[in-house]
């Protein structure tokens, strides 16, 4: 009973003010997670008079807050463009947007790093901070961030209906449903494919098809101010894409067929999967060049029509190397990196981070969107995946697919993202 009481005391103290009882001061290391992602410190957080102090620069930069240091006055400042804070070493008065705030303990310098009270920082930047007692860890949830969200809409069944999941009612009834989360982003409509001769298909061998009553989907999307994009999904398991990309006449037909249909939408989403799996050397370069050429052929008329081009690509750290991210990123308006299917569920955060970092070497963050595969995630892991997009300041996230998100997943998304207006 006594041990349980001490544990509850610790949790209450940390949640209420991040204050630790005296017996906890012996703890040598205090892991800190922001949106489920570890914050890397070269100097560890400490406990001072029962308060948790953390290295300012590390915790701020994990939330994309810029930090500056004035050595003459030993003052540290930080801003995210909206909120400004200022603290001075040894001074128990801090400033939040020029409003003085009394601190329980002042900032200190440890091994050349400025450590500040975590409670002050979290409150200043509207973060939620909790103490994970069983894991001796501080967990920080960043405030909701504005970003673009693309929801893939594909044919399901009564249990996994994209329509019901998005609009909240059985087809053909509509309500606002979950459109507040998707907002004025885009609904990527997975209704099209191509054959090796360049014919645009509304029913493909892989199961992608345009459903009966598809016009009502466009009408409902317009009702709630959701933009739409036409997804063309093709896989190369049987060589369909390889054949298409080596046939000039087929490529021209494919582009013409897509452009003719594109007038119904606000953009095109090209999802060519499986390129480069068994290729290497000159052959791999030839595959990449062929796909680059097709994308350029499609991009020019789309640009003239004022329509966006999105590319949905395997990640650079996958087995599919047929994607020249640098060239494709220069042509496309946005790139969705499908950072999933690594073999374990939820998708390993380290591999998702690796995929993002490798993609960012060639694609500007303003164009890059993190793809999240809903079947492999849960409400908690979704927050972490969104946290990766936040930490790297990506353009947004793409959810595969509508119809598979549970109510708990929608609630999790609402806690971590805001509709970008």
pLDDT digits (tens, 9 = 90+) for 67-116: 999 999 999 999 999 999 999 999 999 999 999 999 999 999 999 999 99
Percent of the chain whose pLDDT exceeds 90: 85
CA dist 71 and 102 (Å) reads 22
Lowest pLDDT segment from 29-33, 163-167, 233-237: 29-33
In this prediction, residue 7 has a pLDDT band, given cuts at 50, 70 and 90, of very low
Give me the residue label for tokens 């609009």.
Answer: 167
**Residue 19 pLDDT class (50, 70, 90 cuts):** very low
Overall average pLDDT of the 238-251 stretch: 97
pLDDT score of 4? 34
pLDDT digits (tens, 9 = 90+) for 269-318: 999 999 999 899 999 999 999 999 999 999 999 999 999 999 999 999 99
| Both structure tokens of 165 | 């999941």
Distance separating alpha carbons of residues 6 and 81, to the nearest angstrom? 41
Using pLDDT thresholds of 50, 70 and 90, give the confidence band for residue 184.
low
- Residue 370's H or E segment, with its range, is strand 368-373
Out of 13-22, 174-183, 384-393, least confident range: 13-22
User: Could you state, in order of their start, the residue ranges of all structural domains in the chain?
Assistant: 2-141, 145-419
The listed CATH number (2.60.120.20, 3.30.457.10, 3.10.520.10, 2.60.120.380) that belongs to domain 2-141: 3.30.457.10
| pLDDT of res. 421 | 64
Q: Which fold has domain 145-419?
A: TIM Barrel (3.20.20)
Q: Which of 17-31, 284-298, 376-390 has the lowest mean pLDDT?
A: 17-31
pLDDT computed for residue 377 by the predictor: 98
Using 50, 70 and 90 to split pLDDT, how confident is the model at 28? low
pLDDT at 47: 87
- CA–CA gap between residue 181 and residue 189 (Å, rounded): 17
Distances (CA, A) of 334 to 111, 126, 148, 325: 43, 30, 11, 11
Do residues 188 and 151 touch, judged by C-beta distance below 8 A?
A: yes
pTM of the full structure: 0.91
Calculate mean pLDDT across residues 12-33: 53
Please give the structure tokens belonging to residue 148: 């673009």
Task: Grade residue 381 by pLDDT with cuts at 50, 70 and 90.
Answer: very high
| pLDDT (tens digit per residue) in 108-159 | 999 999 999 998 999 999 999 998 888 889 999 999 999 999 999 999 999 9
Task: Kindly report the average pLDDT of the chain as a whole number.
Answer: 91
Residue 249 has pLDDT above 60, yes or no: yes
In contact, 83 and 94? CB cutoff 8 Å: no
Which residue reads 């052959």 in tokens? Answer: 283
pLDDT given for residue 25 in this prediction: 41
Residues across the chain: 421
The DSSP secondary structure of 330-363, one letter per residue, reads HH-SEEEE----SSSSSPPHHHHHHHHHHHHTTS
Instruction: Indicate whether 15 pLDDT > 80.
Output: no
pLDDT at 258 over 50: yes
Peptide bond into 346 cis (omega under 30): yes
């Amino acid at each position: 009973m006594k041990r349980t009481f001490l544990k509850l005391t610790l949790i209450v103290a940390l949640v209420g003010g991040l204050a630790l009882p005296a017996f906890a001061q012996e703890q040598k290391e205090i892991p800190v997670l922001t949106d489920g992602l570890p914050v890397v410190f070269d100097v560890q957080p400490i406990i001072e008079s029962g308060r948790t102090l953390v290295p300012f620069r590390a915790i701020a930069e994990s939330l994309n807050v810029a930090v500056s240091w004035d050595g003459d006055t030993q003052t540290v400042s930080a801003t995210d463009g909206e909120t400004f804070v200022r603290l001075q070493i040894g001074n128990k008065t801090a400033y939040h947007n020029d409003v003085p705030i009394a601190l329980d303990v002042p900032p200190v310098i440890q091994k050349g790093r400025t450590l500040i009270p975590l409670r002050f920082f979290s409150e200043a930047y509207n973060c939620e901070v909790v103490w994970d007692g069983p894991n001796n860890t501080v967990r920080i949830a960043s405030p909701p961030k504005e970003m673009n969200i693309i929801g893939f809409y594909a044919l399901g069944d009564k249990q996994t209906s994209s329509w019901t999941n998005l609009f909240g009612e059985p087809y053909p009834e509509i309500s606002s449903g979950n459109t507040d989360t998707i907002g004025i982003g885009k609904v990527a409509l997975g209704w099209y494919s191509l054959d090796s001769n360049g014919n645009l298909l509304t029913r493909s061998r892989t199961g992608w098809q345009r459903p009966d009553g598809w016009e009502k989907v466009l009408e409902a999307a317009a009702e709630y101010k959701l933009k739409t994009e036409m997804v063309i999904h093709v896989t190369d398991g049987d060589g369909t894409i390889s054949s298409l990309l080596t046939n000039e006449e087929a490529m021209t037909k494919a582009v013409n067929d897509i452009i003719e249909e594109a007038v119904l939408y606000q953009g095109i989403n090209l999802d060519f999967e499986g390129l480069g799996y068994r290729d290497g050397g000159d052959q791999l370069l030839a595959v990449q060049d062929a796909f680059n050429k097709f994308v350029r052929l499609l991009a020019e008329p789309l640009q003239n029509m004022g329509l966006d081009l999105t590319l949905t690509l395997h990640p650079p750290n996958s087995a599919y190397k047929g994607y020249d991210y640098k060239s494709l990123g220069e042509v496309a308006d946005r790139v969705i990196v499908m950072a999933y299917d690594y073999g374990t569920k939820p998708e390993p955060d380290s591999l998702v981070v690796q995929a993002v970092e490798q993609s960012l070497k060639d694609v500007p963050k303003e164009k890059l969107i993190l793809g999240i595969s809903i079947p492999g995630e849960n409400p908690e892991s979704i927050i972490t995946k969104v946290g990766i997009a936040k930490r790297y300041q990506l353009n947004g996230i793409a959810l595969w697919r509508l119809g598979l998100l549970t109510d708990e997943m929608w609630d999790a998304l609402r806690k971590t993202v805001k509709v970008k207006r």
